[in-house]
Amino acid sequence: MGSIESPPFRHNNDALDYDVLIIGAGLSGIYTLHQMNTFGLRAKVLEAGSAPGGTWYWNRYPGARFDSESYSYGFSWSQEVLEEWDWSEHFAAQPETLRYCEFLVDKFNLRAGMQFDTRVTRAHYQERSKSWVLTDHRGRTYSSRWLVTCMGILNEFTLPNIPGVHDFAGRAMHTARWPHDAPVSFEGKRVGVIGTGATGIQTITEVAKTAGHLTVFQRTPNWSAPLNNGPISAAEMAEIKTRYPEIFRRCKESYSCFIHKSNPASVFSVTPEEREKFWNELYETRGFEKWLSNFHDIFTDKEANRLYSEFIANKIRQRVHDPETAEKLIPKCHGFGTKRVPLESGYFEAFNRPNVELVDVKADPIERVTASGVKTRDNSYDLDVLIYATGFDAVTGAFTAIDFQGVGGVKLSERWKDGPRTFLGLFVESFPNMLMVMGPHQMFGNFPRSIEYASAWVAEFIRWACEKGISSAECTGKKVEEWTEHVHTCAEGLLANEVDSWMTGVNKNLQHKQKRIIARYNGPAPGYRARADDVAKRGYEDLIMT
Ligand code: N01
């Protein structure tokens, strides 16, 4: 009798459309789909955009680029990709990164597994069949055993809660939904930008170069420091390729997955002269070195942080000609690096241009947007183009935008009304078979490094569960309790958690996001991975499985 070949997995999902549904075709969705395909599982990505790329598909505003070194940003899981792909700059601009996403999709034949122009509106768990049913904006439904959310943490953009935002008669756009058809020209135009976060800072620097007149509406000034970008020559790229193992090892060992090594020394362990010299050297380095490789206590000690903030403030004073404008650009209510640091390439010099005007809307608040521009309490600004660089309903926004319902019809928005509660940022209690890549309380840092880890963990779990014929897996309330407590403990003592920002869950435009929460994992990335690895190593016994 000949042997009967057994199927690779005990699926038991035949009555369902798919084994795995994935929401989102950004980097998380791309890698997750690739792994599912490799394992021979039937997987589908549902994506609201018309093409892959996620963040890099939507955020096409002028000046959009990396804040992590390009070669530390790309995926490390394919040697072929590492060999074939060349980065042209130390911090690649958005078009190049979007090309990188398209390259991955084509190289691994992922397009057929992606359905674009499909916005998921509902995701309901079916207790009887232990499956998920997703509904899209056109009412079409899709069923699967497993659901993987790959929605990113900065996806749902927010407009400012200013009266009249829809009244403007000129051209208005949010940076996160930048027009795709043709480049937007600012030549000779009167342009307004509201918002001076990382996005605003990149946009303003670029728009200032061509606009007839640019008015920057700043509510809170932001600490910003030089990106120090530069091109990568062919020879340099070849050399970088030989160092990939070391680059990824460094990222793996570092606190937040960046290439920059943390510094165990204290601000107070050196003389003021040594400190000044070190900080001047740091100011010339690339990327986040000047933040993440700084004295460790700038993150935790108010006086240490004040000293470095003052050093950066003096740099701003040296770079901005008008002392009054310089003072307006220097943050007074939070310290350097207590928000993710926007990196700039000539931002402060933009304010030396005769066509650029800074309006402090804390001193002269915006009253409304009108058909002709922006009306503040004391002035009116006539505009042709109005750009909203006003940020996102971060971290949880993509989840609350979809009607997620778990066991007994429990709503995810209800479960998280006082802040997210998860197990490892991967599972939510009462939401069986749903796994999150870049969910709340997961490590963020250098995003693709975190994505790569979480996506591989999730994929390996699903592979294992399918092999074992498991039809449902859920985390317990006890594990959620323990993880949430651990996440909150890791956040203690960090100055960043004493400041309003998207990282502490605050969005002043949203009624339900006025209070600070712990939105992300603040502990060291190696610690996160050790905990998640341990769960896998112990056969996922922390989960309830049937
Ligand atoms: O958003 P933000 P972002 N009236 O929330 C202002 C990543 N990123 O898109 O601070 C007036 O930081 C708001 O003012 P205030 C990066 O992780 C990376 O800029 O609330 N102003 C603030 O100035 C970053 O941290 C890169 O007082 C209003 C701005 O809008 C994250 O994305 C590039 C207002 C929002 O800033 C988010 O950055 C870009 C109102 N009603 C972004 N409402 C890289 O380099 C809001 N604002 C890779």
- The per-residue pLDDT for 182 is 85
- Summarize the confidence of residues 228-240 as an average pLDDT: 98
Give how far the C-alpha of residue 303 lies from the chain's centroid of Cα atoms, to the nearest Å: 30
Number of separate helices (H) and strands (E) present in the chain: 18, 20
Tell me what the mean pLDDT of segment 261-281 comes to: 97
Quote the pLDDT of residue 256.
95
Instruction: Give the confidence band of 207 by pLDDT, cuts at 50, 70, 90.
Output: very high
Supply the pLDDT for residue 285.
Answer: 98
In a domain, 416, yes or no: yes
Q: How many residues does the chain have?
A: 546
DSSP 458-507: HHHHHHHHHHTT---EEE-HHHHHHHHHHHHHHHTT-GGGGS-SGGGT--
Residue 227 has pLDDT above 70, yes or no: yes
Per-residue confidence (pLDDT) for residue 299, from 0 to 100 = 97
Neighbours of 286 (CB within 10 A): 17
Q: How far is CA 332 from the centre of its chain?
A: 26
Q: Give percent above pLDDT 90 in the chain.
A: 96
Residue 126 has pLDDT above 60, yes or no: yes
* DSSP three-state, residue 406: coil
Give distance in angstroms: CA of 52 to centre of ligand 1. 24
Report pLDDT digits (tens) over 421-463: 999 999 999 999 999 999 999 998 999 999 999 999 999 999 9
Q: How high does pLDDT run on average in the chain?
A: 96
Please give the pLDDT value at position 5.
39
Amino acid at 457: W
pLDDT at 14: 80
CATH number, position 436 = 3.50.50.60
Spacing, Cα 502 to ligand 1 middle (Å): 8
Asked whether 215 and 191 are in contact (CB, 8 A), the reply is yes
Evaluate if residue 199 carries a pLDDT over 50. Answer: yes
The answer to whether 138 touches 147, Cβ cutoff 8 Å, is no
Task: Name every residue whose Cβ is closer than 8 Å to that of residue 357 and which is 6 or more positions away in sequence.
Answer: 213, 214, 215, 216
State how far the Cα of 165 lies from the Cα of 399, in Å rounded to an integer: 25
Q: Is the pLDDT of residue 545 over 70?
A: yes
Among 219, 328, 341, which residue has the most ligand 1 atoms within 8 Å of its CB, making it the best to mutate?
219
Q: Determine phi and psi for 262, rounding to 5 degrees.
A: -75, 160
pLDDT at 2: 35
Q: Relative to the CA of 342, which ligand 1 atom is closest?
A: 45
Arithmetic mean of pLDDT, 312-324 = 98
What span, in angstroms and rounded, lies between the C-alpha atoms of 164 and 160? 10
233: Cβ contacts below 8 Å, ≥ 6 apart:
none
Per DSSP, the three-state class of 309 is: helix
> For ligand 1, what atom is nearest to the CA of residue 59?
39
Q: Are 10 and 465 in contact (CB under 8 A)?
A: no
3-state secondary structure of 171: strand
- Could you tell me what percent of the chain has a pLDDT over 70? 98
Taking phi first (over 0 means left), then psi (-120 to 50 degrees means alpha), and beta for anything else, what does residue 130 get?
left
pLDDT of res. 4: 40
Q: Within 10 Å of residue 253's Cβ, how many Cβ atoms?
A: 13
Residue 264 lies in a domain: no
Distance 382 CA to ligand 1 centre (A): 23
Q: How far, in Å, is the centroid of ligand 1 from the Cα of 340?
A: 10
pLDDT for the residue numbered 505: 95
> Ligand 1 atom 9: the closest Cα is on which residue?
391
CA distances, 465 to each of 35, 39, 297, 319, 459 (Å): 14, 12, 44, 58, 10
Residue 10 above 60 pLDDT? no
In ligand 1, which atom is closest to the CA atom of 64? 33
CA distance 263 to 530: 22
In a domain? residue 138: yes
**Which residue puts its alpha carbon closest to atom 29 of ligand 1?**
195
Give the Å distance between the CA of 33 and the centre of ligand 1. Answer: 30
| pLDDT tens-place string over residues 495-527 | 999 999 999 999 999 999 999 999 999 999 999
Q: Domain for residue 383, yes or no?
A: no
Cα-to-chain-centroid distance, residue 328: 28
Question: Can you tell me which residue has the tokens 């976060």?
Answer: 197
Residue of 67, 155, 199, 514 to test ligand 1 pocket, by largest number of atoms within 8 Å of CB: 199
Q: Is the model's pLDDT at 12 over the cut of 70?
A: no
* Distance of alpha carbon 361 from alpha carbon 65, whole angstroms: 27
pLDDT tens readout for residues 133-180: 999 999 999 999 999 999 999 999 999 999 999 999 999 999 999 999
State which amino acid sits at residue 510. Answer: L
Whether residue 11 has pLDDT greater than 80: no
* Amino acid occupying residue 205: T
Asked, for residue 92, whether it belongs to a domain, the answer is: no
Reference 219, options 519, 501, 495; nearest CA is 501
Mean pLDDT of 77-91: 98
Task: Looking at the CA of residue 388, tell me the nearest atom of ligand 1.
Answer: 30
Four-point Cα dihedral 33, 38, 42, 47, nearest 10: 10
In which domain, by residue range, is 446 found? 10-52+110-156+394-470+535-545
Residue nearest to atom 7 of ligand 1 (CA): 198
Structure tokens at 201: 């800072």
Parallel, antiparallel or unpaired: strands 373-376 and 380-382:
antiparallel
Please compute the mean of the pLDDT values over residues 26-30 and round it to a whole number.
98
Cα–Cα distance, 216 to 361 (Å, whole number):
10
**Considering its fold, how many domains does the chain have in total?**
1
In a domain, 42, yes or no: yes
> Average pLDDT, stretch 229-250?
98
* C-beta pairs of 316-321 under 8 Å, 24+ apart in sequence: 316/348, 319/348, 319/349, 320/348, 320/349, 320/351, 320/352, 321/352
Q: Which residues line ligand 1 (CB under 6 A)?
A: 66-67, 154, 160-162, 194-200, 202, 219-220, 340, 361, 389-391, 502, 508-509
Residue 506 lies in a domain: no
Say if residue 470 is exposed, middle or buried (CB neighbours under 10 Å; 0-12, 13-18, 19+): buried
Reported as type and span, the H/E element at residue 101 is helix 94-107
Asked whether the predicted pLDDT for residue 1 surpasses 70, the reply is no
pLDDT for 73 equals 97
Query: Is 152 within a domain?
Result: yes
**Cα gap 220→213, rounded to integer Å:** 22
Distance 257 CA to ligand 1 centre (A): 22
Among 94, 154, 393, residue to substitute to test ligand 1 (most atoms within 8 Å of Cβ): 154
Residues 6+ apart with CB under 8 A from 539: none
